[in-house]
Structure 1
Amino acid sequence: MEQLTVGRATLTWLNGGVTHLDGGAMFGVVPKPLWSKMYPVNEKNQIELRSDVILLEVDDRKILIESGLGKDKFTDKQKRNFGLLEESSVEESLAEKGLKPEDIDTILMTHLHFDHACGLSKHEGDTLVSAFPNATIYTTETEWHEMRHPNMRSKNTYWKENWEPIQDQVKTFKEEVEIVPGLTMHHTGGHSDGHAVIKFRDGDEGFYHMADIMPTHAHQNPLWVLAYDDYPVTSVHAKKDLQEEAIPSNYWFTFYHDAYYRAIKFDEDRKIVEELKRERYEYK
């Protein structure tokens, strides 16, 4: 498991599972000859996308960023369509750190699409229960409403199985909330109407977790946004503004979906100046 220390915070990437989604959808209107130079594509025109939860340890708090793909949440058809080759083993990853799901006190959900939220609940016999029963789960008020009342387009990504078992644990915010000193969540919209990003600052150090505003290192160009985005122009402006905040401060950008990098620092030309790579392995 890769780790990164930023100020008084330690980040550890846990195994949240992997999907393979259509590269064209992940890069929207960007031509394939451009994006495929930045991010590898397979023979099905799919790109590998991790869903790896970040354990954030700060001020004696045990915080998760996102929740992974969960276990036994997908039908065989969905596994084929989403290129799901590996389900979550977050609980096993926590055990390697000497932790149990009950030790997690906070979960920061940038949004509640299935690939971020399936790990919030788990099966106990025929019942779905909270996977992290002692955690307060933060998400935006807008996202929580959309999760429970999806429209004809979003109902395919907001699943009741992911919210019904944890609804009593959810705490919402409108535009911004501070979790601990220096650690904040901010409503951006864009990818979804309720999408949020996470910022951490401690002295001269910090990281920005851009979630699906910048899901991989190859999405660093502000104009390269997803066809999945509900409000792509909002994503463009949010990404540009956030980069203009973080890059001059030499902050890290952390990733949930990137199959190659866990975290990166960019220079003013958006070239990589420091990196934490993910250990690669072959799927069984």
Structure 2
Amino acid sequence: MEARFGLDGGAMFGIIPRPLWERTNPADAQNRIDMACRCLLVEYPDRNVLVDCGIGSKWSQKERGIYNINAQDTALTEALNARGLSPADIDDVILTHLHFDHVGGASEFAGEGDAQRVRATFANARHWVQRRNWAWANGPSARDGGSYRPIDFTFFETQADAPPLELVDGIAEIMPGIEVLPMHGHTFGMQVLKITTAEHTFAYVADLIPTTSHMRDPYVMGYDIQPLVTVEEKRGLLYEASRNDWILIFGHDPSTSFARVELDKRGRPSAVPLDIDF
């Protein structure tokens, strides 16, 4: 886990009334619910792949207070160190999309005062993002512009020593066993990852299903730019997951990392948490 932070509960659950969503996601005095920034490390014999990189450290004290950002400035590096790795050992960073809570950790401040600049955190890594999301992030709408912070990704074009940026067009297997599946309900060009191993199939669902509380159809974030599209995309993925025994990986659930999908008698999905230790 790269960070814990808070977002407005009403925004996170859209049309769902507070008495319903607060049963599983209690809010604080400022109506914020607890959120995780959960990254995923995929280790190959010859490469290390990081999926998303969290909220990062480029925040003022005022912003940290607004989003209740805590326990994160060194958390990702410490997690890599626990695996015997450092940021320099990451060969690929796959970004589901360029919202600040998914790409913020891709860069950091270096230097002091007038000499301070933004540099890549994973200087040796190729960074993968959908071309459509890259275009949208560089010209978002007034409605969702606040979710894209240019300081998080413009360094790819402004810094001469920036690592390579790979823009992906649609569905693709970008490396053995890792497919990217574009989704356009939350934001244009977000990509869910389907990861296939000898034992399991995983789906890193990003903001299509941010928490286990978002499994059912109407539980859609107010942040989503096309909520009806989100409903259809979520239905399709959960159908495949339940039919083929996929394991879902949740990026924002504060307590559940992995879960299988279980359907009740009415066909409504729910998450069955798994305790997996890799």
**C-alpha deviation, 1:95, in angstroms:** 1.3
Find 2:72's aligned residue among 80, 87, 92.
Answer: 87
2:119 to 95, 110, 129: 129
TM-score, normalised by the number of residues in structure 1: 0.87
Q: Which runs of 4+ in 1 moved over 3 A?
A: 271-274
Indicate if the aligned counterparts of 1:121 and 1:166 stay in contact, CA closer than 8 A.
no
1:148 aligns with 2:124: no
Task: Please give the residue correspondences for 1:1-284 in structure 2 after superposition, counting only pairs within 5 Å.
Answer: 15-71=1-57, 73-88=58-73, 89-125=75-111, 126-167=116-157, 169-203=164-198, 205-269=200-264, 270-276=269-275
Separation of aligned partners in 2, 1:48 and 1:277: 22
Judged with a 3 Å threshold, the aligned counterparts in structure 2 of structure 1 residues 271 and 160 are, in CA distance, closer, same or farther, namely: closer
CA distances 1:47-98 after superposition (whole Å, capped 9, x unpaired)? 1001121111135321111011112x11222112212123242112211211
CA distance in 2, matches of 1:120, 1:139: 12
SS in 1 for 2:124: coil
Paired with 2:152 and 2:141, the residues of 1 have a C-alpha distance of: 16
Stretch deviating more after TM superposition (21-30 or 179-188): 179-188
* Cα separation, 2, equivalents of 1:57 and 1:235: 30
Supply the distance in 2 between the matched residues of 1:154 and 1:38 (Cα, whole angstroms). 26
In structure 2, distance between residues paired with 1:117 and 1:132: 12
Q: Which amino acid aligns with 2:182?
A: H
Q: Which amino acid aligns with 1:192?
A: T
Which stretch of structure 1 is more off in the superposition, 160-169 or 237-246?
160-169
Instruction: Please name the residue that 1:3 is paired with.
Output: none
- Is the Cα–Cα contact under 8 Å of residues 191 and 212 in structure 1 kept in the other structure? yes
Shift of 1:207: 0.8
Specify the code of the residue in structure 2 equivalent to 1:78: E
Q: Say whether the 8 Å CA contact 1:112–1:143 is kept in structure 2.
A: yes
RMSD: 1.8
- Normalising by structure 2, we get a TM-score of 0.89
Q: Secondary structure at the match of 2:167?
A: strand
The offset of 1:180, in angstroms, is 2.3
Q: Structure 1: how far apart are the matches of 2:155 and 2:271?
A: 41
Q: Which runs of 5+ in 2 are unaligned?
A: 158-162
Q: CA deviation at 1:277?
A: 8.2
